[in-house]
A and B are shown apart, each in its own frame.
Chain A
Amino acid sequence: MAAAVLWWTLRAARQVLPSPCPRQVRSYYVDWRMLRDVKRRKMAYEHADERLRINAIRKNSILPKELQEVADKEIAALPRDSCPVRIRNRCVLTSRPRGVKRRWRLSRIVFRHFADHAQMSGVQRAMW
């Protein structure tokens, strides 16, 4: 029946369409350094498997040394931004590189601000 077909399309459309109510959508990163950090994270994710395998060949006492030297050169030839060491855990809201607590990904200043306004669940001022 056409009605059943219509009902099905309605259902699908309702799920596909985003709601008309306005919602905050972050379209800019806080600053360029944050953008660069994001790019580094993406690259590190892409090359993570390769790096792991080449490192497994390098850090080895079984394989011949010549092979390991070749592997050394290979890993050095990978793009520089693909190594995870270059990632810096910045604050998510202010892009502050220092004083960032890992659990909340926020810098100490922002953390304090939210905690004092009771917007951090389960966080309380210490008193003992």
Chain B
Amino acid sequence: MKVELSYRKKLQQLKANENTKQAMNELEGLDSEGSVPQGTTEDTQRGKPLNPELVKAASAVASSLPRNKKQTESELLAQLRRHEETTDKQKKGGAINIRNVILEMTVKRQSPAQRGARISSGISLQLDEDGRRIRPERSSAQSIDSRRSLKVKKRLNIFTKASTEPEHTLKTVSPPTIWDLEFAKEVAAVTAQPPRNGFEEMIQWTKEGILWEFPVDNEVGMEDDAEFHEHIFLEKHLEAFPKEGPIRHFMELVICGLSKNPYLSVKQKVEHIEWFQKYFEEKKELLQEI
């Protein structure tokens, strides 16, 4: 049985829909007065509301630019929204999209006669001896088959859902006693057989943490929930420093370097700056001599 991909057409349709939606959004943005509160209500209407600070910043930037303000503001907001969508998608891992792809795929059946014909045509090309040109017949048969093909409904019932019983509230709320724990440990020790093959060994290692989980997730243990502007705009940490002089110059270079560093978390960057602060405070007397 062959799996036919009728996905390309659907992709095109989706793209067309998206384009029309974007055009509609831009028209709406142009029609509304470019004032901030209207902008915020618009955004809150569409799915996830953008950070109000970001919206204000975008409107300020748009007002500072000389060209068409409303258009630039709507474009900036659209970009921010897109940026947030991509970050959300990446965070989720995009596993949902695969499901959509599979749902949209249809199954195509091939009659045994056709299969036989294909095999024979594979062995010797262009069997014209019997006068049977299989090609024109194929296309008609294929179209009939695709209409009859098994259409997968929206629910992919590959696996039976584990009955989601509501977890019974512990009637006796006492925590497990030491005897219970010991008993549990004994049972675990008895039932944990040594691994029979390499797969079970690898499973055990994964549980213990010796082996990573595949496909490798590069961001295990790294949960940076900070927004991009916290990484880049670090000048607010520079308030404790003098406003002029070589130290300020030096710290501005440090901040420039930190803002370009994708490997450190925001905490680490802040610690970096605070270390310098402490250091220069200790050396204050020395500096004042100079």
Q: Which residues of A contact B (CB under 8 A)?
A: 1-2, 4-6, 8-10, 12-15, 17-21, 49, 53, 56-57, 60, 62-64, 66-67, 70
Contacts and interface: CB of A to CB of B under 8 A. Distances in A.
Interface residues of B, number: 36
Contacts of B168: 1, 4
B99 interface: no
Interface of B: 167-168, 170-172, 176, 180-181, 183-185, 187-189, 191-192, 194-195, 204, 207-208, 246-247, 249-250, 253-254, 272, 275-276, 279, 283, 286-287, 289-290
A13 B279 contact: no
Contact of A63 (B192, B247, B272): B247
Contact of A62 (B181, B185, B208, B250): B250
A121 B53 CA distance: 54
Contacts, number: 76
Nearest to A64: B290
Q: How would you classify the secondary structure of chain B's contact residues: helix, strand, loop or mixed? A: helix
Nearest to B268: A49
Given A1-B171, A9-B181, A17 B189 contact: yes
A117 B98 CA distance: 42
Given A9-B176, A13-B184, A19 B194 contact: yes
Nearest to B187: A10
24 contacts: A1-B171, A4-B167, A5-B180, A6-B176, A8-B176, A10-B184, A10-B188, A13-B187, A13-B188, A14-B191, A14-B192, A17-B192, A18-B208, A20-B192, A21-B194, A53-B275, A53-B279, A62-B250, A62-B253, A63-B246, A63-B250, A67-B283, A67-B286, A70-B286
